[in-house]
């Protein structure tokens, strides 16, 4: 029989296989997708910026010979004991409960080896974490799980979490399957129930209250600890300004690529602004208040390598924080567990159902057998190496731009590959002197 | 008796002195004069001392208290005894919003009324209010006991976990997943002990108990309307 010419099957852009799969999943389960990690959609990012390097108009420094300082001092505004870090890269807050004990230990050990700090998360501070972290930032979260004044005093800094890049304005949900007896005890809740992390602090309702809250925390900790305020990247100019007004020593700004332990996919992908778009407004707020470099700015959300670090610093940050990248460095989503990821219906590098507690890498789980797979000493070595590589990369770029300290990087060292990135970063489109949105057009 | 006058002594010096006391201190009784609504009075204490604040306080009085007994002769501002771990805080007058918020332990007594969000996110603290409490009290309260001799406002116990709520008067409305529960003998005994400790003159049998229906403990689409 003679065949009739046929059109090729063609997937719809609007109803793509991924969209259709999600519609079917929602219809089957009756709940939105909850997952961990950060935004997966492509948004303008540091990749869209390039460094100019030095030629005649700028004078470079010799790689491997001329010193390029990477140290950073956080909390110089009010705290009696600011934190001195050897590198401008810190470990972002991730909770015990969301992460296994060995994973938290590895982060503490690795950060300490690299000369930087790590951060607690929802769920409070564990002895292991405090013991293995030379410098530990204690997150003061809306849920106040595990919150107590002894841990406040054991910390080296206090980070008041107001918002998170993955979910500005949103709370979290640690599903019951990850709530072991230890996690439940730390949070004063029964084993096995869904644990909601509140979206707002229960005992203050605005920036004026926050200022008084900070006074209380300082009074309790003898004015020693730097007070960080963490904001999600949504309205960075105003939120930074209000954080400064409230008395922050450090502002932590988390863009939409920032990760989370578990929240709604619709939130992760649709709320907040890309990290790249958030930095300049935050820096502008600090400059307008005369507080740039006096209140330090830590930027997080999708930082992956030394180039990202250098670009964030050039745009005005004092340091960056990494979360997802640190987990990958210690073994999360490692291809060596490929067969097990397949069994879970996913692949290495794409696994994000961290809330289910089945993580083959033993990192985002409380399953005792899976946890044994992570050797905290080896994982710490890997994290130290990764942090060292990022620092070396950042220094290499800074020297090429003629800088003897990574903080001397500046927007003038950058150009943008796309109009969007040029507008967001406030640097010229490459090959031009055009900064979209400035000079009237 | 150690006396600190906030008209002549700074808040910082007051808190340093109070925080400097230990279990073995012989300076067990303190009096604070002229608080004049100052914030963060007597915060972060960790010794079995008695502190009397003669007047009214601002935000966060007795915040994160451990062991100490703190008595405010006037009224207290927002967040009194927030995140208390142990000890006792007594307010002779009224308390503003968030009284006893996130408290992990100890006893908070408000002899007047408490405003909205009393006991919000409480995690083990016991709170006794002689008067009324405002709306959204005990929101997301996890554990501990809230006793109200007067009336409760709207949305009492919204999204409650395991905390027990005892109310003698009326409840304007219950929040999501909060229901009236049977008052069994063990609850009457808990209530009787709390009334006695707080010095409240009330009969436990006059109270109703409220707690979590536990319908929202694990998500199910059929309950989505309650969220």
Q: What is the pLDDT of residues A123-144, one digit of tens each?
A: 789 888 899 999 999 999 999 9
Between the alpha carbon of residue B10 and those of residues A320, B13, B66, the distances in Å are 38, 5, 22
Helices (H) and strands (E) counted in chain A, each on its own, are 15, 16
| Phi–psi pair at B32, nearest 5 degrees | -110, 120
Q: Are A204 and B102 in contact (CB < 8 Å)?
A: no
- Residue to mutate among B37, B39, B67, B106, with most A CBs inside 10 A, is B39
Separation between Cα atoms, residue A141 and residue A152, nearest integer Å: 12
* Assigned domain for B60 exists: yes
Min Cα separation B71/chain A (Å): 18
Sole residue written with tokens 């001195």: A84
| Residues A108-113, mean pLDDT to the nearest whole number | 98
Question: Are B15 and B111 within one domain?
Answer: no
Residue A263: both structure tokens together? 């929240």
Chain mean pLDDT for chain A: 94
Between these two residues, B24 and B208, which has the higher pLDDT value? B208
Contact B90, B70 (CB under 8 A): yes
Question: Are B73 and B104 within one domain?
Answer: no
Helices (H) and strands (E) counted in chain B, each on its own, are 2, 11
Question: Are B68 and B110 within one domain?
Answer: no
Sole residue written with tokens 């012989």: B26
Separation between Cα atoms, residue B43 and residue B11, nearest integer Å: 10
Min Cα separation A296/chain B (Å): 25
CB-closest option in B39, B124, B221 to A216: B39
Sole residue written with tokens 């605005």: A206
Question: Are B70 and B119 within one domain?
Answer: no
Q: Are B142 and A189 in contact (CB < 8 Å)?
A: yes
Separation between Cα atoms, residue B159 and residue B181, nearest integer Å: 15
* Assigned domain for B90 exists: no
Q: Are B64 and A143 in contact (CB < 8 Å)?
A: no
Between the alpha carbon of residue B5 and those of residues A2, A16, A276, B33, B153, the distances in Å are 103, 71, 52, 5, 37
CB-closest option in A202, A219, A222 to B117: A202
Q: Are A188 and B142 in contact (CB < 8 Å)?
A: yes
CB-closest option in A152, A202, A222 to B102: A202
A220 → chain B, closest CA residue: B44
| Residues A321-348, mean pLDDT to the nearest whole number | 97
Strand partners for A50: A415
Separation between Cα atoms, residue B201 and residue B163, nearest integer Å: 23
- Residue B226 clears pLDDT 80, i.e. is over it: no
Query: A430: Cβ–Cβ under 8 A, 6 or more apart, which residues?
Result: A50, A415, A416, A417
Question: Are B102 and B200 within one domain?
Answer: yes
Question: Are B212 and B101 within one domain?
Answer: yes
Residue A35: both structure tokens together? 């997952």
- Residue A194 clears pLDDT 90, i.e. is over it: no
CB contacts under 8 A, B 46-85 vs A, are 46, 58-60, 63-64, 66, 78-79, 82-83, 85
Query: A76: Cβ–Cβ under 8 A, 6 or more apart, which residues?
Result: A82, A249, A294, A296
- Residue to mutate among B10, B79, B164, with most A CBs inside 10 A, is B79
Question: Are B105 and B177 within one domain?
Answer: yes
The residue from B48, B77, B106 where one domain ends is: B77
Q: Please, where are the H alpha helices in B41-199?
A: 185-198
Can you give the C-alpha Rg of chain A in angstroms?
Answer: 22
Separation between Cα atoms, residue A174 and residue A197, nearest integer Å: 8
Residue A368: both structure tokens together? 């005792």
Strand partners for B212: B178
Question: Are B62 and B27 within one domain?
Answer: yes
Residue A118: both structure tokens together? 């790590």
Residue A96: predicted pLDDT: 87
Chain A contacts of B44, Cβ < 8 Å?
A: 149, 219-221
Q: Are B102 and A31 in contact (CB < 8 Å)?
A: no
Separation between Cα atoms, residue A48 and residue A286, nearest integer Å: 24
Separation between Cα atoms, residue B70 and residue B51, nearest integer Å: 5
Contact A342, A351 (CB under 8 A): no
The residue from B77, B110, B143 where one domain ends is: B77
Question: Are B121 and B198 within one domain?
Answer: yes
Between the alpha carbon of residue B14 and those of residues A174, B19, B72, B76, B123, the distances in Å are 41, 9, 15, 18, 28
B136 → chain A, closest CA residue: A202
Contact B141, B121 (CB under 8 A): yes
* Assigned domain for B20 exists: yes
Contact A265, A276 (CB under 8 A): no
Q: Are A216 and B40 in contact (CB < 8 Å)?
A: yes
What pLDDT band is residue A185 in, cutting at 50, 70 and 90?
Answer: confident
B44 touching A (Cβ < 8 Å):
yes
pLDDT digits (tens, 9 = 90+) for B158-211: 999 999 999 999 999 999 999 999 999 999 999 999 999 999 999 999 999 999
The residue from B77, B109, B132 where one domain ends is: B77
* Assigned domain for B86 exists: no
Residue B179: predicted pLDDT: 98
Q: Give buried/exposed letters for A108-118 (b at 16+ CB in 10 A, else e).
A: bbbbbbbbbbb
B119 touching A (Cβ < 8 Å):
no
Residue A86: predicted pLDDT: 98
Q: How many CB atoms lie within 10 A of CB B33?
A: 16
Q: Are A203 and B79 in contact (CB < 8 Å)?
A: yes
Residue A1: predicted pLDDT: 66
Between these two residues, A320 and A171, which has the higher pLDDT value? A320
A→B contacts (Cβ < 8 Å), by residue, are: 29-31, 143-144, 147-149, 152, 173, 175-176, 187-190, 192-194, 196, 198, 202-204, 209, 212-213, 215-216, 219-223
Q: Are B60 and A216 in contact (CB < 8 Å)?
A: yes
A185 → chain B, closest CA residue: B123
Question: Are B124 and B195 within one domain?
Answer: yes
Residue A440: predicted pLDDT: 64
Collapsed DSSP state (helix, strand, coil) of residue B166 = strand
Chain A contacts of B68, Cβ < 8 Å?
A: none
Closest CA to A300 of A48, A33, A77, A39: A39
* Assigned domain for B89 exists: no
Chain A contacts of B164, Cβ < 8 Å?
A: none
What pLDDT band is residue A178 in, cutting at 50, 70 and 90?
Answer: low
Chain A contacts of B63, Cβ < 8 Å?
A: 216, 220
Chain A contacts of B162, Cβ < 8 Å?
A: 189-190
What pLDDT band is residue A441 in, cutting at 50, 70 and 90?
Answer: low
Residue A78: predicted pLDDT: 97
| Residues A77-91, mean pLDDT to the nearest whole number | 98
Sole residue written with tokens 């309702």: A205
* Assigned domain for B175 exists: yes
Min Cα separation A188/chain B (Å): 6
Residue A171: predicted pLDDT: 84
- Residue B35 clears pLDDT 90, i.e. is over it: yes
B106 touching A (Cβ < 8 Å):
no
- Residue A100 clears pLDDT 70, i.e. is over it: yes
* Assigned domain for B30 exists: yes
- Classify the phi-psi angles of A107: left when phi > 0, otherwise alpha if psi is within -120 to 50, otherwise beta: alpha
Separation between Cα atoms, residue A147 and residue A141, nearest integer Å: 9
Helix (H) or strand (E) holding B200: none
- Classify the phi-psi angles of A305: left when phi > 0, otherwise alpha if psi is within -120 to 50, otherwise beta: beta
Chain A contacts of B85, Cβ < 8 Å?
A: 148-149
B17 touching A (Cβ < 8 Å):
no
Between the alpha carbon of residue A72 and those of residues A76, A89, A269, B115, the distances in Å are 11, 9, 32, 45
Q: Are B98 and A152 in contact (CB < 8 Å)?
A: no
- Residue B21 clears pLDDT 80, i.e. is over it: yes
The domain in which residue B141 lies consists of 97-218
| Phi–psi pair at A140, nearest 5 degrees | -105, 100
- Residue to mutate among A160, A177, A219, A355, with most B CBs inside 10 A, is A219
Q: Are A215 and B40 in contact (CB < 8 Å)?
A: yes
Question: Are B115 and B40 within one domain?
Answer: no
* Assigned domain for B226 exists: no
Question: Are B102 and B205 within one domain?
Answer: yes
**Domains held by chain B: number:** 2
Residue B221: predicted pLDDT: 79
């Amino acid at each position: 029989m003679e065949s009739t010419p046929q059109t090729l099957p063609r997937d719809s852009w609007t109803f793509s296989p991924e969209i259709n799969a999600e519609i079917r999943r929602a219809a089957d389960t009756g709940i939105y997708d909850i997952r961990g990690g950060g935004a997966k959609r492509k948004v303008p990012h540091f990749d869209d910026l390039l460094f100019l390097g030095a030629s005649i108009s700028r004078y470079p420094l010799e790689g491997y010979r001329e010193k390029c300082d990477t140290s950073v001092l956080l909390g110089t505004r009010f705290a009696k004991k600011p934190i001195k870090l050897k590198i401008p890269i810190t470990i972002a807050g991730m909770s015990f409960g969301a992460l296994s004990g060995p994973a938290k230990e590895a982060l503490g050990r690795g950060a300490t080896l690299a000369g930087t700090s790590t951060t607690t998360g929802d769920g409070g501070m564990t002895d292991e974490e405090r013991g293995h972290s030379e410098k530990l930032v204690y997150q003061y979260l809306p849920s106040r799980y595990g919150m107590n004044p002894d841990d406040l005093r054991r910390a080296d800094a206090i980070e008041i979490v107001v918002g998170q890049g993955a979910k500005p304005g949103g709370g979290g949900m640690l599903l019951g399957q990850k709530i072991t007896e230890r996690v439940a005890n730390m949070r004063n809740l029964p084993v096995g129930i869904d644990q909601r992390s509140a979206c707002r602090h229960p005992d203050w309702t605005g920036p004026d209250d926050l200022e008084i809250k900070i006074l209380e925390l300082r009074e309790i900790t003898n004015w020693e600890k730097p007070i960080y305020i963490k904001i999600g990247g949504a309205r960075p100019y105003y939120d930074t300004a209000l954080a400064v007004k409230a008395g922050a020593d450090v502002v932590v700004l988390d863009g939409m690529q920032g990760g989370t332990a578990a929240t709604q996919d619709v939130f992760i992908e649709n709320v907040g602004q890309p990290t790249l778009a958030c930095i300049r407004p935050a820096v502008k707020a600090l400059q307008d208040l005369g507080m740039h470099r006096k209140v330090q700015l830590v930027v997080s959300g999708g930082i992956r390598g030394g180039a990202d670090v250098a670009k964030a610093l050039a745009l005005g940050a004092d340091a960056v924080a990494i979360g997802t990248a640190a987990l990958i460095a210690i073994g999360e989503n490692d291809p060596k567990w490929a067969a097990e990821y397949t069994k879970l219906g996913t692949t290495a590098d794409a696994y994000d159902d961290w809330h289910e507690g089945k993580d083959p890498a033993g990192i985002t789980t409380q399953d005792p057998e899976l946890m044994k797979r992570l050797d905290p000493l080896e994982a710490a070595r890997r994290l130290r190496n990764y942090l060292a590589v990022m620092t070396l990369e950042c220094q290499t770029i800074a020297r090429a731009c003629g800088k003897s300290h990574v903080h001397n990087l500046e927007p003038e060292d950058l150009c943008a590959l796309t109009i969007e990135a040029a507008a967001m970063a406030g640097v010229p489109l490459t090959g031009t002197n055009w900064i979209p949105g400035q000079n009237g057009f | 008796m150690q006396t600190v006058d906030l008209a002549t002594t700074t808040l910082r010096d007051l808190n340093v002195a109070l925080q400097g006391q230990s279990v073995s201190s012989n300076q067990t009784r303190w009096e604070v004069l002229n608080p004049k609504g100052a914030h963060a009075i007597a915060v972060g204490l960790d010794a079995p001392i008695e502190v009397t604040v003669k007047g009214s306080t601002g935000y966060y009085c007795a915040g994160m208290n451990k062991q100490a007994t703190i008595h405010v002769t006037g009224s207290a501002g927002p967040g009194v005894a927030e995140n208390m771990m142990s000890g006792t805080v007594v307010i002779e007058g009224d308390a503003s919003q968030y009284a006893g918020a996130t408290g992990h332990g100890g006893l908070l007594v408000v002899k007047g009324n408490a405003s909205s969000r009393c006991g919000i996110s409480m995690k083990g603290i016991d709170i006794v209010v002689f008067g009324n409490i405002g709306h959204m009290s005990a929101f997301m309260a996890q554990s501990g006991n809230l006793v109200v001799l007067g009336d409760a406002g709207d949305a009492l116990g919204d999204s409650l976990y395991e905390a027990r709520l005892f109310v003698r008067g009326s409840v304007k409305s219950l929040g999501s997943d909060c229901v009236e529960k049977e008052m069994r003998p063990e609850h009457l005994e808990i209530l009787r002990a709390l009334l006695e400790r707080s010095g409240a003159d009330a009969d436990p049998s006059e109270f109703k108990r409220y707690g979590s229906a536990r319908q929202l403990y694990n998500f199910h689409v059929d309950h989505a309307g309650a969220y």
